[in-house]
Structure 1
């Protein structure tokens, strides 16, 4: 309490009615988010007063009994009466009211461990109640260990009994942890804050009269012991702890004597005297600590504080006042007044402008668009062109183009996450929940038999706000535990094939086994697949993207010539590109898997991908024949040529197994060079098959209308097939034939399960062609489920579907492209041994040992990271594509494509141990893409830093930098940093929440909607100025680590909530930016990360010396420079 504190205002509590008698104040409470003081009377009426003038703001009836206590909530005010509890908005309208027969004499209440969503009620009765604030219902009734008169919440719930004791209750179970006998008779007032409880009470003296104790009793909640009492000769009637000074207490006598005393030094105190004519009945202190309210027996409320800077709440929200009604404006009704300047009145009769429907005529409708496929096959003549009708319309049928234009072509995009956050903050009622998403998706049934493309199969597009792709609500499209892939990346047509491969256990096992080896080849696609598969597993339904894999594909020297890149083949058929990619990837899987010796014997044992065969080539002229290996990884299906049949006759349709047999054996005739004839001749080739692969990959190769017709029969693609290899020939069975062969057991038959397929979806005129995948995820579960689990993967839209829909095709819009079978014996065999065999040697390597200046020190085997090891991470980016922005028809800027980043630097700092804060990774990434902006002011990267010809830094490939992080992730390390979401996104890695410690979330109050910058937190909490000129990832990682240490200290001391409120209050005053650090009128230059001295060198230590903790006591916080906390 400063020296200028005095009585600022005094007013009587207004009576309940115009002719009512004044009533005493039964409770007082300051608002924690508005400049309001709340008071209750004995008739159940709650009244609020605004500002230091104590202007009456609202008044409403909370119950019929005296108001015992008032609590403040974000949504409103909660008033407790003897037999009911009432919640209302601050403007007065009720939210809910609860009365119960068991509520007989309630006296007190407190928030529980669930924060402000639940309260505990108690009183002079045997039952306590738990109230759910959001629902406004009694969620539970529990027996009370005692009768309680006062409740305060700090580290625990502290409840004063009517016998002078204080029960300390667990805020979760509400069991009594400790009982403290504070006074011999009863407790008149109590407060609890941080680690202290202070009480004032009565004792029975001589003459059988009760007198106030001349001592204020103190209890240490942290150590559960009594502390020396604070002497107060005048007799302590009321006591409050200062909300910002953790050891300061305010003691008030009944006659108005006020003492401000430090519990740790009771010999020093500040004394004031309130001017009261009778005695005081109530005392309350504001959450800001800058105002005190007193209530006396004359029904008056006294407001004390410093007249120059009094306020109630730390961060005040504006108070809503009723808008005054506008006065009627006199209209100038004269012949010179334009009629358009006079507003029209409300009308009930029909206006002259309401024309009847028969007088409204539509203008000409727009012409229908011509299908590009029709134009491509049209035959030109002198008078125009003609061709086959490829549309789903009858001849000469007219299309209603107006309806076609208005028809939805895709799912309506959800609101941006930032919009939802703002709406939920402004709306006090419970917002629409995510269940509406399920209703929106569930309203559209997937059916492959529909003539038009079902909405779930249509193209899904990402919309961008000013916050980029992170603001898009991907969860709207996926409520499953299976992750989708983003489709705004170049060559993302591969998403459908990647999903099928991911849910093929044998291929997933191979990829992860190889990724866990020492391979650092930056063109290894098998490693990249392993990284993507691991990311999809860990994401568990969260959106992912395959940026690194697709980048590796785009720089592969063979991908461009094979026509696998969208930028090199604009307008090419996506299904043909996907089938080519299927052949290319499977060939690379085999090569990459064998590249790291010794390769696993599992590859040869299963013969996972290859169909071993010998190809015999015979010249049709000289009859000479020679053989060569004919092993293949992918089989293109070959369909029989339709034959001309007699009229009224029908040829039997070949089954899928018959076509598969012909496709594997594949006898063809073509022209080729005959070495014996020494000329080109007709050559006949046929295959002799020696074995069946564990994974059977098929390209549908549908290139004709006749081939499409095979797939239009429901159930034509079987979910199980059996293959027998006998004397070089293939025999394939399904359905009842397969069951019969399995029962007989005569032949060695290999049974295959259909894992999934990629399908080509042609949306006609409204949308371009795209690819989806349909996968039975049941075969990739660790445990065998009871039934199949087919899912549609339409990029980031994931939805369960029935097997009938998944395996039914439509010649007009849904045709298979790639089909995958796996041996049934390998289903649900998920190999996790790669984690135990993880090669961690890369963490201990120094790939640039001759670097002149090293800012890092590689790990040693003694520092081997493991489960729970904390490492601090920060990354820097460069821009490889500027955002594309256009103006829409409303004149607003709309982002078409957001800015694209590439990883430029990765720094990882030790989080504990002797070398704490010393980086062991500081990798600069070799740039293989054109950089449009180095973002130097944010990244610290300049031209030449990422060029091997000029860089003086530790330059490595993206594969090396990524794999180090991936190894640390799978060792179980915890990644600590500030704003790690963007780091993980650009790095293209998914880290489970259990392994992430993000200081941007630790120092965040959700109700504020604003997250704090690293520089501001460093200035406020660490007394350090960082990022003055540019960013340095090592400096940022170290700062995040220090902030985390501070957070742990604050949490242990129980003052984190208070610190957060002070941070936000100061941030609001300073616009959440640290002041520019100046020295002698010049800006202090940012110090670069110090160069580490080699072991054994004579120089002194250059690594930072660990400073003592900022907490000198249990509740003492040393603030930052210029911090308002500093006295």
Structure 2
């Protein structure tokens, strides 16, 4: 019978109560069933949970729970032959156990996380955390090498040579390491250099501890040169000043020492025989001496991080736990301990040969079973035979042994058709053909490529898609395929036949697409965002302006594909977004739904700040979203309470904790309204600091709600299986809720309860409509998780349609869906992430007054801050120039490349573009066109530039594309650029203002310009000369340089491209096009232009390919080398201008004598370049009012075209 040890603690200093006693005793389990118990090798209290950890001599680690020391986990950390466990440290992910030759980390459940073995790990003894907190440790021992280990990655990051060998390490202000020679090295926790060496003892150190600003040590001295004896003194060192302090006398021989974790100057010194001194380092004369009655000697001691428990280990393999029975705990702030699931006893069942198998029930499960094999591991066997066409059977010739006939060759030789395909549902959606392929095949085939809506109809509607076990095709990942013509060749229309635009992927952080769509269709947010965007805000990092640009673009697109490139670029460059781990490149593998919920909070906060930054610095945007409340915090111990005001833009849903219902008792049904009420009021209990108790206590918090916002945005915050099951309940999410605020309490109703309250009208109830939901879709095998949104677009229409109109937005896939489908979720693959409600009375309130209040001051400002930069443009005059709907402006832009294309080459040598080249806007030039009254200054020379912006680049440029863009290295760098640079937002907003002033843009290939600018211009406001001079049957669009050479007889883009030159050239080509159209010869001219293009490779001379030579001398019927191609003079009067040489048949242009004959004559003019002749018929006898134009005083009534190859006349 081992007598109970007694620790005599009557009145310990500094709050250690005198009722301490031994609360538990534990005999360390032996390493095997028949093995002999061994003493404790190391022990430690967990810093985060109520666990006590012990390691033995055979590499095994065992944990015990709470003061009862119930066995929790046990696992082998190191091979038994490698010796004892030396030390343990604790991380929030698990426990780190140090062995002699390895370092092991495991979760608190015992599952290994990593195990490190190194050839230079020969005799490890100690370890400590570094300056990086618990993310990095330093490991040392009786060897000349230390190791730095990254705890999160489980790998050695650095090896350090050390002049000393270490046995003990403790971390405080510095890393304190005890050497084998009785000294303590003070190591810098960053560089690990020795800052100071303190010779604490003459021989060796038996124990060391460091807390706050002090080190305390126990050690040995060699007595009479024969044996080592414990020193009767405890060494003390001041880490703050790096000086020694007077030692603490301890006549019994100090064996072990610990600093109290909560009392900075209190130390506990223990002898091997159990004598204990509790000493104040600042006043050693106030020590209290106590004695623990033990039958043997102590081998080690340890104190809990809370200071409320002490563990003693003796030589008989026992561990004694001491503390106050009424208040003992280990960790200062404990996390819940995870326990093993209890084993359920199954009911006994009689089993014989006649027992039906269906009496054995299937277990309940939430996760996918192991027997549910993925599709790529399953192959079909025993396929049914191919079905034969009855018409083919009727055509066979019967003979004695059967029938024979012509082989239909539906399959190749030795090829077997998939006979199960007709019986399978449409499980996937094949990408459409490229637009260029369809154009080539359209002439040879009448079959139409199936559209996604046809696929959707084939799925059938007997069962809701969201309730199916497999992910429907509409919810799966969509991908953009690239041909050699880039993204413009992809058929986005295949995925969207609605008037609502989708958003592109393959853009950094495009996971934000669903939340952007939901915010766009929320009328109150849409209105106030566009009102701000129409102001003079010039902040280049304003996310609210970028949101307004995107909203306007989505509305103008009317179903065409859009991209949020500029907004996401501003987001990527925002420093706070990186700190919050909202960028995909900074958080690979992170949960997209968690990132989206964080982005939701970030966007709303930043948009509120951006709105307040513009005068009159109103908080209207914040009032639109904020839920004002007062939070009351009460200490559960002393009952003291204090309050603090606060607001939140996003409310996190809190779900009820699972409660085990009694037997035969149905669990209470939880509604969405109940969850929302508890989430808004947020009654929670957590541990925190109580200023009255002066310690950490349980604190209860509750919010008092003052009012509710017009827009209520919720993060679903689904973390538990029980929450997933709630959302999996059909119809659990209502599309309408009612809220009543009364005496600070939040009441929420839905369904019949809401209707009843509305009928009674007794309370002031606010009704909310569900605008949309951003949802997380886990497509399962071989597909990454992605996000979609379902939106009720009926609430954002200018006029209420009278019924719901739900749409699914899966990036660029957009399709209408039913209400039940939109609001149904599946725990297996579809769960909500963000929900947006808006007050019902604000539905369909679309405010477009911002267009009338559009601030146009930016159009009249100079391009940039560099006054020495050469001026290449004349800004608009605010007194004389007002762009209107009748204004025509020529536009051209230049780009640079910021990312090279990603190209994949397969084994056959075929090249496939995975990601196309990415361009960034470098220069924008806008040139004045024809000047309508009061719109442009007619006194300026024709085609005077009004905008010529060079855009400062914030991204690394991989290729300036100088031969195509004219941009040189350094042109876009503010430090070296000779131009006056502007921000991307400034250049963009100038164009955006012009678009909303209904200005018409003219240019060549504007589709690519608008794409890189990332702006949507209505088709009615675009004149594209690439389209005007395009013949669809030829499948080729003509370049600007080629058209200028053919039709204007000008060489442009000879050295480099210049956007002003290109804009002016497009303006002149448009004039020629109008001439041809009004003359009625446009088709003939285009045919000749394409014919000449084929002969010269569609390139001007000297640009590659064979060019057609043109005469250089003037002669009868031959245009001069420097004059434009002659055109009918009819268009010369189109804009009220007289006919000039080069615009019609002027003097010396077409006839031998340079003039037209009088009377009825016909004159042939030959154009050798186009290989055709113009025949002008004149009739002087006709009434002048009936004539179309006058040439040299002769009325011309008809223009004819003669092709030499046909010799036919066609009157216009």
TM-score of the aligned structures, taking structure 2 as reference length: 0.57
Identify if the C-alpha distance between structure 1 residues 1055 and 778 changes in structure 2 by more than 3 Å, giving closer, same or farther: same
8 Å CA contact 1:1023–1:1120 kept in 2: the answer is no
Question: In the alignment, what sits opposite 2:469?
Answer: 451
1:442 Cα deviation (Å)? 2.2
Identify if the C-alpha distance between structure 1 residues 658 and 1074 changes in structure 2 by more than 3 Å, giving closer, same or farther: same
Question: In the alignment, what sits opposite 1:720?
Answer: 736
Provide Cα deviations, 1:123-175, integer angstroms capped at 9, x if missing partner.
Answer: xxxxxxxxxxxxxxxxxxxxxxxxxxxxxxxxxxxxxxxxxxxxxxxxxxxxx
Question: In the alignment, what sits opposite 1:927?
Answer: 953
For 2:867 and 2:638, locate their aligned partners in 1 and report how far apart those are by CA, in whole Å.
66
For 1:472 and 1:391, locate their aligned partners in 2 and report how far apart those are by CA, in whole Å.
40
Q: Does 2:555 match 1:537?
A: yes
Provide Cα deviations, 1:723-756, integer angstroms capped at 9, x if missing partner.
Answer: 0111111000011111111111111100000001
| Residue among 856, 862, 867 paired with 1:850 | 867
Q: Does 2:489 match 1:471?
A: yes
Question: In the alignment, what sits opposite 1:439?
Answer: 454
Question: In the alignment, what sits opposite 2:708?
Answer: 692
For 1:589 and 1:1106, locate their aligned partners in 2 and report how far apart those are by CA, in whole Å.
56
| Residue among 487, 501, 512 paired with 1:494 | 512
Q: Does 2:1143 match 1:1111?
A: yes
Q: Does 2:839 match 1:823?
A: yes
8 Å CA contact 1:937–1:1030 kept in 2: the answer is yes
Provide Cα deviations, 1:196-244, integer angstroms capped at 9, x if missing partner.
Answer: xxxxxxxxxxxxxxxxxxxxxxxxxxxxxxxxxxxxxxxxxxxxxxxxx
1:403 Cα deviation (Å)? 4.6
Provide Cα deviations, 1:304-335, integer angstroms capped at 9, x if missing partner.
Answer: xxxxxxxxxxxxxxxxxxxxxxxxxxxxxxxx
8 Å CA contact 2:867–2:980 kept in 1: the answer is no
SS in 1 for 2:627: coil
Question: In the alignment, what sits opposite 1:859?
Answer: 876
Question: In the alignment, what sits opposite 2:822?
Answer: 806
Q: Does 2:430 match 1:415?
A: no
Question: In the alignment, what sits opposite 1:1039?
Answer: 1065
For 1:867 and 1:688, locate their aligned partners in 2 and report how far apart those are by CA, in whole Å.
54
1:674 Cα deviation (Å)? 3.9
Identify if the C-alpha distance between structure 1 residues 440 and 904 changes in structure 2 by more than 3 Å, giving closer, same or farther: same
1:1113 Cα deviation (Å)? 4.7
Identify if the C-alpha distance between structure 1 residues 842 and 378 changes in structure 2 by more than 3 Å, giving closer, same or farther: farther
For 1:487 and 1:653, locate their aligned partners in 2 and report how far apart those are by CA, in whole Å.
40
1:1065 Cα deviation (Å)? 1.4
For 1:1038 and 1:1121, locate their aligned partners in 2 and report how far apart those are by CA, in whole Å.
26
| Residue among 475, 478, 484 paired with 2:502 | 484
Question: In the alignment, what sits opposite 1:937?
Answer: 963
8 Å CA contact 1:1023–1:1119 kept in 2: the answer is no
Question: In the alignment, what sits opposite 2:670?
Answer: 654
Question: In the alignment, what sits opposite 1:634?
Answer: 650
Question: In the alignment, what sits opposite 2:530?
Answer: 512
Question: In the alignment, what sits opposite 1:974?
Answer: 1000
1:391 Cα deviation (Å)? 8.4
1:995 Cα deviation (Å)? 0.7
Provide Cα deviations, 1:274-296, integer angstroms capped at 9, x if missing partner.
Answer: xxxxxxxxxxxxxxxxxxxxxxx
Question: In the alignment, what sits opposite 1:159?
Answer: none
Alignment of 1:70-109 (within 5 A): none
For 2:738 and 2:368, locate their aligned partners in 1 and report how far apart those are by CA, in whole Å.
41
Q: Does 2:1003 match 1:1003?
A: no
For 1:624 and 1:1119, locate their aligned partners in 2 and report how far apart those are by CA, in whole Å.
103
1:959 Cα deviation (Å)? 0.6
For 1:994 and 1:432, locate their aligned partners in 2 and report how far apart those are by CA, in whole Å.
31
Structure 2 gap ranges (5+): 1-105, 116-339, 342-362, 381-420, 932-937, 1110-1136, 1151-1164, 1175-1212
Identify if the C-alpha distance between structure 1 residues 660 and 1126 changes in structure 2 by more than 3 Å, giving closer, same or farther: same
8 Å CA contact 1:437–1:476 kept in 2: the answer is yes
8 Å CA contact 2:774–2:789 kept in 1: the answer is yes
For 2:1049 and 2:634, locate their aligned partners in 1 and report how far apart those are by CA, in whole Å.
84
8 Å CA contact 1:485–1:544 kept in 2: the answer is yes
Question: In the alignment, what sits opposite 1:552?
Answer: 570
1:1077 Cα deviation (Å)? 9.3
| Residue among 900, 920, 931 paired with 1:902 | 920
1:719 Cα deviation (Å)? 0.6
1:573 Cα deviation (Å)? 0.2
Provide Cα deviations, 1:827-871, integer angstroms capped at 9, x if missing partner.
Answer: 000010010011100000113361331101111121111113111
Question: In the alignment, what sits opposite 1:503?
Answer: 521
Question: In the alignment, what sits opposite 1:609?
Answer: 625
Higher mean C-alpha displacement, 624-633 vs 485-494: 624-633
For 1:815 and 1:640, locate their aligned partners in 2 and report how far apart those are by CA, in whole Å.
18
Question: In the alignment, what sits opposite 1:983?
Answer: 1009
Question: In the alignment, what sits opposite 2:769?
Answer: 753
Identify if the C-alpha distance between structure 1 residues 487 and 622 changes in structure 2 by more than 3 Å, giving closer, same or farther: same
Paired positions, count: 722
RMSD: 3.1
Q: Does 2:546 match 1:528?
A: yes
For 1:1029 and 1:676, locate their aligned partners in 2 and report how far apart those are by CA, in whole Å.
80
SS in 2 for 1:448: helix
For 1:1106 and 1:1027, locate their aligned partners in 2 and report how far apart those are by CA, in whole Å.
31
Provide Cα deviations, 1:870-895, integer angstroms capped at 9, x if missing partner.
Answer: 11111111111111111124331111
8 Å CA contact 1:611–1:693 kept in 2: the answer is yes
Higher relative contact order (CA 8 A, sep 6+): 1
SS in 2 for 1:568: coil
Question: In the alignment, what sits opposite 1:315?
Answer: none
Provide Cα deviations, 1:428-466, integer angstroms capped at 9, x if missing partner.
Answer: x5x334665532332234611100111111000111111
For 2:372 and 2:1008, locate their aligned partners in 1 and report how far apart those are by CA, in whole Å.
53
Question: In the alignment, what sits opposite 1:1030?
Answer: 1056
Question: In the alignment, what sits opposite 1:68?
Answer: none
8 Å CA contact 1:1053–1:1114 kept in 2: the answer is no
Higher mean C-alpha displacement, 743-752 vs 672-681: 672-681
Provide Cα deviations, 1:10-51, integer angstroms capped at 9, x if missing partner.
Answer: xxxxxxxxxxxxxxxxxxxxxxxxxxxxxxxxxxxxxxxxxx
SS in 2 for 1:586: helix
SS in 2 for 1:784: coil
Q: Does 2:989 match 1:963?
A: yes
For 2:1085 and 2:1040, locate their aligned partners in 1 and report how far apart those are by CA, in whole Å.
16
Question: In the alignment, what sits opposite 2:28?
Answer: none
Alignment of 1:1052-1063 (within 5 A): 1052-1063=1078-1089
Structure 1 gap ranges (5+): 1-374, 1082-1104
1:679 Cα deviation (Å)? 4.3
Question: In the alignment, what sits opposite 2:480?
Answer: 462
Higher mean C-alpha displacement, 558-567 vs 444-453: 444-453
Point out the structure with max Rg over C-alpha: 2
8 Å CA contact 2:866–2:980 kept in 1: the answer is no
Identify if the C-alpha distance between structure 1 residues 650 and 809 changes in structure 2 by more than 3 Å, giving closer, same or farther: same
8 Å CA contact 1:481–1:540 kept in 2: the answer is yes
| Residue among 568, 577, 580 paired with 1:562 | 580
For 1:982 and 1:1061, locate their aligned partners in 2 and report how far apart those are by CA, in whole Å.
25
Identify if the C-alpha distance between structure 1 residues 550 and 394 changes in structure 2 by more than 3 Å, giving closer, same or farther: closer
8 Å CA contact 2:451–2:495 kept in 1: the answer is no
Alignment of 1:78-157 (within 5 A): none
TM-score of the aligned structures, taking structure 1 as reference length: 0.61
SS in 2 for 1:658: helix
8 Å CA contact 2:925–2:1060 kept in 1: the answer is yes
Provide Cα deviations, 1:543-563, integer angstroms capped at 9, x if missing partner.
Answer: 111000100100011101111
SS in 2 for 1:613: strand
For 1:1021 and 1:954, locate their aligned partners in 2 and report how far apart those are by CA, in whole Å.
35
Alignment of 1:383-394 (within 5 A): none
Identify if the C-alpha distance between structure 1 residues 479 and 400 changes in structure 2 by more than 3 Å, giving closer, same or farther: closer
Alignment of 1:154-193 (within 5 A): none
Question: In the alignment, what sits opposite 1:64?
Answer: none
Identify if the C-alpha distance between structure 1 residues 858 and 395 changes in structure 2 by more than 3 Å, giving closer, same or farther: closer
